[in-house]
A and B are shown apart, each in its own frame.
Chain A
Amino acid sequence: MNKKGYYRFADIGMFFLTFAIVGVAIGVGIYAFYFQAFDTRESDANNLLERLEDFLIKRGELNKNVLERNFNIYEEAELNKDVINEFYYFKINIRGLNSGVNKFIEGGQEGFEVSCNLEGRKLPKCARKNIVLEDYDIKILTGSNQGRGE
């Protein structure tokens, strides 16, 4: 600062330092914006949940095939096992309210079940739904970590 109280902004080092800080802040802002904009993991998880729901509930009733022992969910719901195992997770729990039915179906990356409850940019995003239908309580959990939000 000189005697008249003017800052000498032409001081080249200080000038570039100031603008480097501003530039980095703007760069981080842009990155954060685009990171949020292209994170489709939550909609992917919802998409998978809708697919499972569509096949579990037919005309307002539970698809009873699902309760059979040799039932293959990948075939029935038209899911690709390789892609599911690499990027997704799903868990279906069907419990009879007045019967002893307790069917549990799970697929994909099992670690997602725990990660779904945690906060983190690189952690999977999940979707949940609880349906009470006829005499059954159906819980569906799905998760996706494809692209890790990028």
Chain B
Amino acid sequence: MRNKKNQIFFNLPFSQKMKNKKGVNLLTENLVYILLVVVFVVIIFFAVVRVGEGAGVYEKIYAKQIAYTIDKSKSGMEFEIYLGKAHSIAEKNNFEGKIVRINNDENKVTVNLIKGEGYSYYYFSERDILWDIKDKRLILEIKKGESKNE
């Protein structure tokens, strides 16, 4: 059974029910809070996605992967590495240069997916790498290198 006080409360219009004694509109306050939480969560979500799909991250992944492949290989081997994701990131960032460069003199793999220096990683193998990019694929041909060691 409802008491008298409750009966008065239930007879009030909706907007009146949501006000406490001090006149603070609890509904508005909570809605604002929920809205701000949602906005915050959405911002964090897109920030995480952006970091995860960022050009910097993929530059590192590809440079390390290519250097690792070269170091794992033996002379005479040939490899193809698919660069589809790298190409799409470079296109998104309006980068039109070479996305992969291999410098045989410095034993260095450099990957560029945005304008800038890119990310470089060194391979320790003394090899000559013949490389080319065709149809979004990096083709590597590993040759026994002429020693640059003194």
Contacts and interface: CB of A to CB of B under 8 A. Distances in A.
Contact of A147 (B33, B121, B145): B121
Interface in A24-40: 26, 30, 34, 38, 40
Contacts of A34: 51, 57
Nearest to B44: A26
A51 B123 CA distance: 12
A116 B58 CA distance: 29
- For B22, B60, B107, B124, the residue with the greatest tally of chain A CB atoms inside 10 Å of its CB is B124
A17 interface: no
B122 A87 contact: yes
Interface string B137-150: 00000001101111
A83 B123 contact: yes
B95 interface: no
B131 interface: no
A82 B107 contact: yes
Contact of B121 (A6, A84, A146): A146
A72 B150 CA distance: 10
A8 B64 contact: no
A87 B121 CA distance: 11
B135 interface: no
Interface stretch (B3-11, B24-32, B80-88, B110-118): B24-32
A51 B125 CA distance: 9
B42 interface: no
B38 to A, nearest CB: 12
Interface of A: 2-4, 6, 8-10, 15, 19, 22-23, 26, 30, 34, 38, 40, 43-44, 47-48, 51, 72, 74-75, 78-84, 86-88, 146-147, 150
Interface of B: 20-22, 24, 26, 29-30, 32-33, 36, 40, 44, 48, 51, 57, 60-61, 64, 68, 71-72, 75, 106-107, 121-127, 144-145, 147-150
